[in-house]
Amino acid sequence: MQFLFRYANPHNFMRLSGAVLPFTAIGAALALIAGLYFAFSVPPDYQQGTTVKILFIHVPAAIMAMVAYSSIAVCSLLSLVWRHPLSDTAARACAPLGAMFTVMGLITGALWGKPMWGTYWVWDARLTSFLLLLFIYLGYMALWSAIEDEIKAARAAAILALVGAVNIPIIKFSVEWWNTLHQGETITTGKLAAVYVPALLTMMLAYFLLFLTLWMIRIRTAIVERRARNLMQGAAS
């Protein structure tokens, strides 16, 4: 906890993130190039044919959507319980990125579903709970914008984020708890053919590093905007 509070100081965060950012940005670009190379080099799957290539962008997007929401939930908890100084800013900065990954997951999933299932959409537990995640993201962002007092907005948004976090295990385990058209866990169970593993893992790394890069830049932007606001208020009073 001491570590978190040390780097929660905006000045320390700006210094640390400034040093880390070039590495995450370059790492994301390199991993993306390598991932795309692997993705377009693998042979067609014996069942899915060439549509297996959609999974290299669908799975990382879906995972990042859940990672982003989990990050918001952790930041919200830190904010509510320990009044962690940067956590509200970090949570708010994360939401649009998570919503974007959720939309990407939904669209790429639909484009995979049509040729494989014969439909773009079914109301099965995995797809429905994932759509619900998008609505939670939208509600979270709307709540931040709807309340003018930033402290009250942060508190309300943090409570919503923690309530919405219930949906994350539901998404994860929906394929085990209910009969779904969506296939079950394949990565950790070793059901994924070895030839596809490098492409999927590299794309997951690329998405994660890009998410981290954009999230840090968004937090830095929020800190700088707050400084500018304080300067303007100081000049006005």
Partner 1 sequence: MNFDMSPYGAFIWPAYGVSVLALSVATIWTVCAWRRAKAKLAALENK
Closest distance between partner 1 and the C-beta of residue 10, in Å? 13
Q: Which is nearer to partner 1, 81 or 230 (CB)?
A: 230
List residues near partner 1 by CB under 8 A.
Answer: 37, 40-41, 49-51, 53-54, 57-58, 61, 96-97, 100, 103-104, 107-108, 111-112, 114-115, 210, 214, 217-218, 220-221, 224-225, 227-228, 231-232, 235
Whichever of 45 and 124 has its CB closer to partner 1, that residue is 45
Q: For the CB of residue 155, give the shortest distance to partner 1 in the complex, in Å.
A: 25
Nearer to partner 1, 3 or 11 (CB): 11
Q: Which long-range contacts (CB under 8 A, 24 or more apart) does 219-227 make?
A: 219/13, 219/17, 219/86, 219/89, 219/90, 219/93, 220/13, 220/14, 220/17, 220/18, 221/93, 222/89, 222/92, 222/93, 223/10, 223/13, 223/14, 223/86, 223/89, 226/10, 226/89
Least Å from the CB of residue 57 to partner 1: 5
Closer Cβ to partner 1, 9 or 50, answer by number: 50
Q: Cα–chain-centroid distance for residue 142?
A: 18
Half-sphere exposure of 190 (CA within 13 A, CB side): 0
Q: Considering the complex, what minimum distance in angstroms separates the CB of residue 100 from partner 1?
A: 5
The two tokens of residue 127 are 């797809």
